[in-house]
Amino acid sequence: MTITVTKLLKMASGCWKPCTLHAGVKLDVFSHLTRSPMTAEDLAGLLEVDTRALDMLLHALTAMELLHKEENRFRVTPFTGEYLDRQSPNYLGHLILHHHFIADGWNRLDEAVRQGGPVRHRSSRNTGNLERESFIMGMFNQAFRIAPEVVAAVDLSNRRRLLDLAGGPGTYAIHFCRQYPELTATIFDLPTTRPFAEQTVARYGLDDRITFVGGDVVTDPIGSDFDVIWLSHLLHSEGPEVCAAVVAKAAAALTSGGMLLIQEFILDNSRIAPIHPVLFSLNMLIGTPEGQAYTEGELADMMSRAGLTRIQRLPLDLPNGAGIMLAVR
């Protein structure tokens, strides 16, 4: 992509459209307009917001092809009815709202660079209810789209006990258990994640095979004798030393011959590609004391220092530069 003045200036105002989308989702206009098409005035009455301002927002969402306008009424499109209505099983609003909550930190990136540390609280800690739900269920939104591809590429035949370490709502534990009927799983995550994980597991009717254990992976015991551990998107929120300790702890919790799988946004050795992991490091800079994206070599080194062998990266081309490392105890 050759940069031009037009592209540069477009980049500078690139946050306008995302902010418009975030506001539409946060005000839940899509759910209301799925129930019935409405004028800005009627919807403003329902949402208890300013009519003139909502009218502008609805026109902008229409210009972005997220709503239709007929006469003076607005309605959802088939697409936004499926993905932005809170009642839809395919609702993606959690992930969109997660981006809304972290946007304030991105706006203060210069301060983070100046001081060399975070300018917002961690998404996994000390957050309000809506923000916590958006983070955990946003991870569900994200993982749900990728999990089928991951499960198809990872052979867990003959494995019986899976630990989904820092598993959040348990999206991967659920997908692995659906694929392998003999498998049981433990989701280990911070205690505040429990209600989201239990609800999600119950929704898939797997409460008899998947249990939740609350704890801190850095300071608490994580259990033992697992023949497979799935560690997805935790390491980027910690610095290299804590990551090495977590990987060593996971390795020690495996049976002999047990397998550790790590999913992360993986940087090239050049550290300038793929673009998502490069930017994700900044996302961790603004939100965590030591988090960052890691290269394949760095992840392999953590696995090797934990005494694991047969270290490899699975040949998978996942969205956002995500990749999976595998090693065996």
Ligand X SMILES: C[S@@+](CC[C@H](N)C(=O)[O-])C[C@H]1O[C@@H](n2cnc3c(N)ncnc32)[C@H](O)[C@@H]1O
Which residues of the chain form contacts with ligand X (CB under 6 A)?
124, 136, 139, 143, 166-168, 171, 189-190, 193, 216-218, 232-234, 237
Q: Is 236 a catalytic residue?
A: yes
In this complex, which beta carbon is closest to ligand X, that of residue 43 or of residue 260?
Answer: 260
**The pairing of beta strand 322-328 with beta strand 254-267:** antiparallel
C-alpha distance from residue 289 to each of 207, 238, 245 (Å): 35, 8, 17
Kindly state the smallest distance separating residue 328's Cβ from ligand X, in Å: 21
Q: For residue 149, give both structure tokens.
A: 């591809």
Kindly state the smallest distance separating residue 164's Cβ from ligand X, in Å: 7
Indicate the residue whose CB is closest to ligand X: 168
In this complex, which beta carbon is closest to ligand X, that of residue 31 or of residue 237?
Answer: 237
The SS3 of residue 38 is strand
C-alpha distance from residue 291 to each of 81, 91, 243, 285 (Å): 36, 29, 9, 6
In this complex, which beta carbon is closest to ligand X, that of residue 186 or of residue 193?
Answer: 193
Kindly state the smallest distance separating residue 193's Cβ from ligand X, in Å: 5
In this complex, which beta carbon is closest to ligand X, that of residue 64 or of residue 202?
Answer: 202
Burial 277-304 (b: 16+ CB within 10 A, else e): bbebbbbbbbbbeebbbbbbebbbbbbe
Q: For residue 322, give both structure tokens.
A: 């995500």
Q: Which helix (H) or strand (E) holds 138?
A: helix 129-153
Kindly state the smallest distance separating residue 109's Cβ from ligand X, in Å: 20
Which of 22, 100, 233, 236 is labelled catalytic? 236
Please identify every residue annotated as catalytic: 236
